[in-house]
Chains A and B, each alone.
Chain A
């Protein structure tokens, strides 16, 4: 892993984090809704990661590009910690239905996006 690749991974992760931050501000949590911004970045990032891993297996993208995009960009764009903490906060606030939905929708669509696009791209 060259210094340039490491730098590219870090910058890609930071750009992903800023996009996540801006989306979570644009689509804040509202009563009766799921934490939409975080849900969207987690699903988009999971799908993108599946697709790029599939492309890398077909040697359509190099290992370095995979590292920058999957570990860097998708890793920075998506988040596990906010998903869990917001779910607990919803449950503590008595919004059990939203908490359970936040878990199930993220899991089902996240697996669907990542595995589906991986299989589709790999062919």
Chain B
């Protein structure tokens, strides 16, 4: 399968899952965006796990990395929804909540990325990847 097609298919699924989570957990304009928060943290842990584990196996095909990484997980998580929510929270004069949301997303995101990478490489019995091989096929 061409990697771009795998990304498209993965993107359909990832966007659909995010839309479903948004619909299941709606939030008011001045409220904490739980659906985006959860999607971003779950996706970041999963991507770290994949990058530390499955991605380091030479036999993993490029289309699978592209479809699952760039496609499914990449489109499930989003930065634009975070920034859009910050703009709306700022309008609602909930600037403190916007700061908490950004800070919590960043700290938890980095911690879960590190935990995912560590768990993935431990389970695969390989050293943690330190080379960023972002040729698009990796992440």
A positions within 8 Å CB-CB of B: 1, 6, 9-18, 20-22, 24-25, 28-29, 35, 37-38, 42, 45-46, 48-50, 53, 70-72, 74-90, 92-94, 103, 106-107, 110-111, 113-115, 118-119
Can you list 9 contacts pairing A with B, beta carbon distance less than 8 Å? A11-B12, A25-B137, A72-B19, A75-B75, A81-B73, A86-B132, A89-B132, A92-B130, A94-B130
Interface contact A45-B130, CB-CB below 8 Å: no
Q: In the assembled complex, how far is the CB of residue B117 from the closest CB belonging to chain A, in whole angstroms?
A: 6
Tell which of B51, B77, B78, B112 has the most Cβ of chain A within 10 Å. Answer: B78
A87 touching B79 in the complex, CB below 8 Å, given contacts A17-B11, A80-B43: no
Number of A-B contacts (CB under 8 A): 233
Closest residue on chain A to residue B116 by CB atoms: A85
Interface contact B19-A17, CB-CB below 8 Å: no
Q: Which of B8, B112, B130, B134 contacts A24 (CB 8 A)?
A: B134
Interface contact A75-B15, CB-CB below 8 Å: yes
Contact with A along B54-90 (1 / 0, CB 8 A): 0000000000001001110111111111111011101
State the interface size on chain B (CB cutoff 8 A): 64
Interface contact A17-B70, CB-CB below 8 Å: yes
Interface contact A14-B12, CB-CB below 8 Å: yes
Interface contact B86-A115, CB-CB below 8 Å: yes
A70 surroundings in chain B (CB, below 8 A): 80-81, 84
A112 to B27 Cα, complex, angstroms: 23
A71 surroundings in chain B (CB, below 8 A): 15, 18-19, 22, 81
A92 touching B128 in the complex, CB below 8 Å, given contacts A74-B80, A85-B51: yes
B positions within 8 Å CB-CB of A: 3-4, 7-12, 14-16, 18-19, 22-23, 40, 43-44, 46-48, 51, 66, 69-71, 73-84, 86-88, 90-91, 102, 105-106, 109-110, 112-114, 116-117, 128-137, 139
A89 touching B51 in the complex, CB below 8 Å, given contacts A17-B74, A28-B135, A29-B132: yes
Closest residue on chain A to residue B102 by CB atoms: A107
Q: Which of B15, B77, B128 contacts A81 (CB 8 A)?
A: B77
Interface contact A114-B84, CB-CB below 8 Å: yes
Tell which of B4, B40, B77 has the most Cβ of chain A within 10 Å. Answer: B77
Interface contact A1-B23, CB-CB below 8 Å: yes
Interface contact B48-A85, CB-CB below 8 Å: yes
Closest residue on chain B to residue A46 by CB atoms: B83
